[in-house]
Structures are given as structure tokens and as C-alpha cells.
């Protein structure tokens, strides 16, 4: 039977990030996608306004129907926005029997929207992250979760991964997208580091890259891959998506979700190091 992946995230009207990115990614991996929308993001370029959160009642209704009617082989969380949503999603996961949980600690979108309220951070750290199979912070998110730790090198990514591991997830993936040089991400399981290196692609069009990367990991886990295998394939997928990213009318353009399946020329160098 086709495997099923759930995303709990925000709807990104522009189509490149959030729920839309997750569904497009699940489809590329031939995984059946289901969605619980936490908020509708439609930032009006003229006013800068436009986040419309959903009530917990509405979010829970989506989760219950997915759990009862479809089933869940893996899930990911994206934009959760409020403390209330994080606390309730955590409780819901605890009463479920979901094994594969990717937590993307989304905070600020590349279009500048604040996607997590300030008072929600503690719940993210203390409640949700400990349940995660893998968390996928980028450098600003890792820094924020670690009280302002400065990250400027691969050695810093490794140290951040070590510290984030103490929060309780099984794996930590710290993404070095903002480093100079090649695009290096560090995956850590408490014993070894998997240093993943892909070519850096010179583009500003990376809207939704983090969403799509974590969705690709969830798809791999749904299909029964190990975390390192799922992350390595997801890294190839997102590198292809960024290489063939799209320019539309204005703002930060999205990654191209079909690129990996279409062109498939991406390599990812993996080095395993004992801690």
C-alpha cells in the first residue's frame, strides 16, 4: 500500500512553502500526503499583513479525520505559530502511535513573516522537540533555540547539533545554508556526525526550501528508510529544487519540486565522523 505522510503546517498562498511545498514534495516521493492547516499565510505585499491562525478545534478536527480515515506512516510539523497549537499538537502526538516525527522548528519565513510567536519557543523546546525523530533547524533557528549561540562554521554546526541533541530528539540536522562555501548540513545521532556536502547554488530563490527538505525526510521515513538515508536523499532532492528554482513576478522565488525527478543530477558527499 502507498505510504502516508501528514504535514501539520501553515498554508502558504504563494505555493512554494508551507503545506503547499509539503504536498508537492510528498507527491514527488510517491507518498500520499495529508494536511492539517494551522494558519493561512497570505502576506499582502502592500500592507505586510496576513497571518490567519486556525482555532485548535479546527486543527484537531483535521487531525482526527486523518488519523481515523487515512492513517499516518510519518509526519512533519512546520509553522505551528502559537504556544497553544504547540502544546496541543504535542498532546495529540502523545496519544497517537506515530513513530516517525520530523519537527521543523519554523520561526521566520524568507519573505519576512514571523511564523512563531515569542512565547511559543519554550513549548517547542521542552514539549515538542523531545518527541521528535529528527529536528531540522537552520542556522538562525538553531541559534535561537540555543540562546543566541553564534554559528559561523561547520565546527559550530556540530557543536549546535550536540547541544540540541540534549533537548531529547533522536537525531538533529543543523542546516548550514547560510555558511560561506559549499552547502554543508550536519546530522547527529549522539554518537556520530554525518556531514553532508552539496554544491552551493547561487540563487536567492529558496522560499520553502526548509519546508520541502523536511517534507522529503518525512516521505523517506514513511517509506521505511533510516533517518540518515532519508536525510541524504532529501538533501539531493532539495539541492535539485534550488538549482532549478523559479522566478515569478516578485519576492523570493520558490524551489522547483519536480526538479529531482526530472533532472536527477545532484550529488551529495557524505562523511561519517565519530564524536
C-alpha 206/C-alpha 239 separation (Å) is 10
**One of 53, 210, 220, 228 touching ligand PXL (CB under 6 A):** 210
Place of cell 487531525: 63
Query: Residue 150: which residues within 8 A CB-CB, separation 6 or more?
Result: 143, 156
> Does the footprint of ligand PXL cover residue 242 (CB under 6 A)?
no
Question: Binding ligand PXL by CB under 6 A: which of 5, 8, 12, 102?
Answer: 12
- Helix (H) or strand (E) run with residue 241 in it: helix 227-243
| Minimum distance, C-beta of residue 112 to ligand PXL, in the bound complex (Å) | 9
**Number of neighbours of residue 243 by Cβ within 10 angstroms:** 19
68: CB partners within 8 A, 6+ apart: none
Q: Interface residues for ligand PXL in 64-83 (CB under 6 A)?
A: 78-79
Q: Kindly state the number of chain residues that form the binding site for ligand PXL, as judged by CB under 6 A.
A: 16
Task: By CB under 6 A, name the one of 17, 93, 160, 187 that touches ligand PXL.
Answer: 17
Q: Which of 33, 53, 208, 241 binds ligand PXL (CB under 6 A)?
A: 208
Return the H-helix or E-strand segment holding 217. helix 209-222
Binding flag, residue 9, ligand PXL (CB under 6 A): yes
115 interacts with ligand PXL by CB under 6 A: yes
Which position among 53, 105, 109, 220 is part of the footprint of ligand PXL (CB under 6 A)?
109
How far from 32 is each of 22, 86, 177, 215, CA to CA, in Å? 11, 24, 28, 12
DSSP single-letter state for residue 83: H
Q: State in angstroms the smallest separation of the CB of 109 from ligand PXL.
A: 3
Instruction: Tell me whether strands 134-135 and 171-175 are parallel, antiparallel or unpaired.
Output: parallel
Alpha-carbon span 48 to 130, nearest angstrom: 34
Pairing verdict, β 171-175 and 183-188: antiparallel
Q: Is 41 in the site for ligand PXL (CB under 6 A)?
A: yes
As a whole number of angstroms, the distance between CA 108 and CA 215 comes to 17
| Residue 76 near residue 172, CB atoms below 8 Å | no
Nearest-approach distance from CB 162 to ligand PXL, in angstroms: 25
Considering only the stretches 24-32, 61-69, 109-117, 179-187, report the one whose residues sit in contact with ligand PXL under the rule CB under 6 A: 109-117
Span of 54-62, 94-102, 135-143, 202-210 interacting with ligand PXL by CB under 6 A: 202-210
Of the candidates 145, 211, 216, 230, which one interacts with ligand PXL according to CB under 6 A? 211
Considering the complex, what minimum distance in angstroms separates the CB of residue 175 from ligand PXL?
Answer: 12
Which of 4, 5, 6, 10 binds ligand PXL (CB under 6 A)? It is 10
In the complex, the residues that contact ligand PXL under the rule CB under 6 A are 9-10, 12, 17-18, 41, 78-79, 106, 109, 111, 115, 207-208, 210-211
Amino acid at each position: 500500500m502507498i505510504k502516508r505522510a501528514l504535514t501539520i503546517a501553515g498554508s502558504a498562498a504563494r505555493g512554494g512553502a508551507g503545506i503547499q511545498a509539503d504536498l508537492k514534495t510528498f507527491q514527488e516521493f510517491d507518498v500520499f500526503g495529508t494536511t492539517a492547516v494551522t494558519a493561512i499565510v497570505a502576506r499582502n505585499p502592500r500592507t505586510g499583513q496576513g497571518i490567519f491562525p486556525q482555532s485548535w478545534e479546527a486543527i484537531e478536527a483535521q487531525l482526527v479525520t486523518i488519523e481515523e480515515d487515512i492513517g499516518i506512516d510519518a509526519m512533519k510539523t512546520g509553522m505551528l505559530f502559537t504556544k497553544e497549537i504547540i502544546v496541543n499538537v504535542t498532546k495529540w502526538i502523545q496519544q497517537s502511535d506515530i513513530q516517525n516525527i520530523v519537527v521543523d522548528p519554523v520561526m521566520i519565513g524568507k519573505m519576512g513573516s514571523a511564523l512563531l510567536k515569542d512565547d511559543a519557543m519554550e513549548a517547542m523546546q521542552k514539549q515538542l522537540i523531545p518527541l521528535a525523530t529528527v529536528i531540522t533547524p537552520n542556522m538562525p533557528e538553531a541559534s535561537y533555540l540555543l540562546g543566541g549561540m553564534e554559528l559561523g562554521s561547520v565546527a559550530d554546526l556540530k557543536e549546535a547539533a550536540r547541544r540540541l541533541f540534549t533537548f531529547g530528539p533522536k537525531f538533529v540536522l543543523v542546516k548550514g545554508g547560510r555558511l560561506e562555501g559549499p552547502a554543508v548540513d550536519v546530522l547527529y545521532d549522539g554518537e556520530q556526525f554525518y556531514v553532508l556536502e552539496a554544491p552551493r547554488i547561487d540563487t536567492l530563490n529558496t522560499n520553502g526550501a526548509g519546508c520541502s527538505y523536511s517534507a522529503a525526510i518525512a516521505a523517506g521515513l514513511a517509506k521505511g528508510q533510516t533517518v540518515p538515508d532519508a536525510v541524504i536523499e532529501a538533501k539531493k532532492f532539495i539541492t535539485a529544487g534550488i538549482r532549478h528554482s523559479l522566478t515569478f513576478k516578485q519576492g523570493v522565488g520558490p524551489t522547483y519540486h519536480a526538479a529531482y525527478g526530472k533532472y536527477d543530477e545532484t550529488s551529495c558527499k557524505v562523511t561519517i565522523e565519530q564524536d
